[in-house]
Amino acid sequence: MDGNKDKETIQEKQLLFESQRDEHQFFLEDQNFCCLCGSKLVFHHKIDYLSLKVQEDADCPSCRIRMKTKDHGLQ
């Protein structure tokens, strides 16, 4: 019986890993591709050393629109 229980545990862990991998892949696609047309976004970074911030802009070359702008703090 322990052999069957071990197999079930291994299968459950494999399903959990595949689910987490799919979620990770979905997150990466959401961050790197245009939600309107699916093109790969082009990122630009501007560093402001006085305020210790980096401004990140993501533009879609196909739609020609800015999809995201984020500010990141430097430590």
CB atoms within 10 A of CB 39: 13
* pLDDT tops 70 at residue 64: yes
Give the Cβ contact number of residue 63 at 10 Å: 14
Q: Which pLDDT score, from 0 to 100, does residue 9 have? A: 76
**Is the Cβ–Cβ distance between 33 and 39 less than 8 Å?**
yes
Which tokens go with 67?
């999809």
For 26-63, the pLDDT digits (tens) are 888 889 999 899 999 999 999 999 999 999 999 999 99
